[in-house]
Structure 1
Amino acid sequence: MTATSDVLDHLDTGLWTYREPLRFFGLEIGRVMVVVRLSSGGLLIYSPAELTADLRGALAELGDVRFVVPASKLHGHLYMEQYREAYPRAELLAAPGLDRRRTDLDFDGLLGGTPDPRWSADLDQTAFLGHRWLTEIEFYHRPSRTLILGDICYHVTGDAPLSTRAVARLAGMYGRLAVPPDLRRTIVNEDAARNSVRKILAWEFDRVLVGHGSVLESGGRAAVADAFDWLR
């Protein structure tokens, strides 16, 4: 049996990540799943990855999967049906719009800008608003002072393939936390987006986890403020 440490990266108390490959327009950008062990002992899975045998074994060593949540209707929902089958007692929550997109799934609730009382002791959350077609749910893990994001920021570093690094340099995104240019161009309500960023920056986080790219271990609040300086 594969050890948990060989499958999941343990970042802090009650916090792990799992990485899987993902190609986007020919570039390997990877995708990050986040695992949070709640005070209750159950697990919350953010942006679930393909549930391989090794991943399922690693999760079993950590606790019972209780909640499975996507970042948005576009990010982190592709394998939710696998978690429904593997963990029938787990609750699947839909990001705004996902319940209409994934009519094949029976969701147990909808995510919004207020944390569920069942995880509010460990996680705060808000919704990033103002985008043309995307509302993303962001989390703040209080015990580790970690911000958890989906697509609104990337962090492309030397760990990325050469071609991905080259494109990131051309886009002005390499080596720093950055908002993808396509997201910047499709903000339709700057006031709503600006207010969302203010809510995020009100949290006292240091580490930042993104859906695509490397972990930013420290200096996270300043990095997020800099990434959204064009908006603020």
Structure 2
Amino acid sequence: MRQIGENLWVHEDSMSMMGTRLGLRMTIIRLADGAVWVHSPTAMSDHLKHQVDGIGQVKYIVAANNAHSKWLQEWCEAYPDADAYVSAGIPRKVPLSNYHILQKGMENVWKEDLLWETMPHVPLFNETVFFHQPSRSLIVTDMIQNYPEQEPEGMAGLLTKYVFEPIGFKGCCVAPPLKMGLTIKDKQAFARFIDHIRQWDFERIVVTHGDIIEDDAKTIFSDLTARFLQ
């Protein structure tokens, strides 16, 4: 785990996918009231839990995309008093007892620290993105990804070159299902969602897959999402 900004930490991990390793990143924030907010939890371990507990008391566990729930339950069990905030599709996959659905119109209980916006009419993802104001960081799950140019060796490299890259998982990119547009059911509403995010004053994009975007983050975001405003 490492600190990358004011009251902002990340934990780097990975998981196996089709014979290759997919990088993952969990984001941890200490809120203004001292509570700890965990986004996109990675695999739990005693060492990781000890590090997170050193930041403060975990009160919020956030799984903001339908595809990112693999370790959610074990985090909820490790922190039974924490509230889970999840995307709309997750309760159908994970047995949760204390949770809230991230959705438009919901009260922002983190308003001193975070702004957030949920993708409208994208049921595949139902992703919510966050803007951590103190560190000026945009936090995303699958929406924006940033893969290193160097391909891995062996079978993982072949899968990357001949399977993942051709369908769009290459370099700094929008998630291919969004790029193709087939998953967006209301393109005008999605354009408003993008325009809202563009108004946030972020200087960093903390992605869940790939390298954190530290330079020219707003320009990169604008360039990648211009297709949705046309």
Q: What TM-score do the two structures reach when normalised by structure 1?
A: 0.86
8 Å contact kept, 1:39–1:122: yes
SS at match of 2:148: coil
SS at match of 1:231: helix
Which residue in the other structure is 1:202 paired with? 199
- 2:70 counterpart of 1:74: no
Which residue in the other structure is 2:79 paired with? 87
Q: Which amino acid aligns with 1:122?
A: D
Which residue in the other structure is 1:125 paired with? 116
Q: Which amino acid aligns with 1:87?
A: Y
Q: Are the structure 2 counterparts of residues 171 and 80 from structure 1 closer, same or farther at C-alpha, using a change threshold of 3 Å?
A: closer
Q: Are the structure 2 counterparts of residues 87 and 181 from structure 1 closer, same or farther at C-alpha, using a change threshold of 3 Å?
A: closer
SS at match of 1:22: strand
- 2:92 counterpart of 1:100: yes
RMSD of the alignment, in Å? 2.1
- 2:222 counterpart of 1:225: yes
Structure 1 stretches of 4+ moved >4 Å? 114-117, 167-173
Q: What TM-score do the two structures reach when normalised by structure 2?
A: 0.87
Q: Are the structure 2 counterparts of residues 146 and 160 from structure 1 closer, same or farther at C-alpha, using a change threshold of 3 Å?
A: farther
The superposition leaves residues 29-87 of structure 1 with CA deviations (integer Å, 9 ceiling, x where unpaired) of: 21111001100101000011111111101011111101001022222x22222122221
8 Å contact kept, 2:103–2:118: yes
8 Å contact kept, 1:44–1:65: yes
- 2:147 counterpart of 1:152: no
User: Which stretch has the larger CA shift, 66-75 or 113-122?
Assistant: 113-122
- 2:177 counterpart of 1:182: yes
SS at match of 2:130: strand
Which residue in the other structure is 2:41 paired with? 48
- 2:132 counterpart of 1:141: yes
Residue 153 (structure 1) shift: 1.3
Q: Are the structure 2 counterparts of residues 207 and 30 from structure 1 closer, same or farther at C-alpha, using a change threshold of 3 Å?
A: same
Q: Are the structure 2 counterparts of residues 172 and 184 from structure 1 closer, same or farther at C-alpha, using a change threshold of 3 Å?
A: closer
Structure 1, unpaired ranges of 5+: 1-7
Residue 161 (structure 1) shift: 2.8
Which residue in the other structure is 1:57 paired with? 50
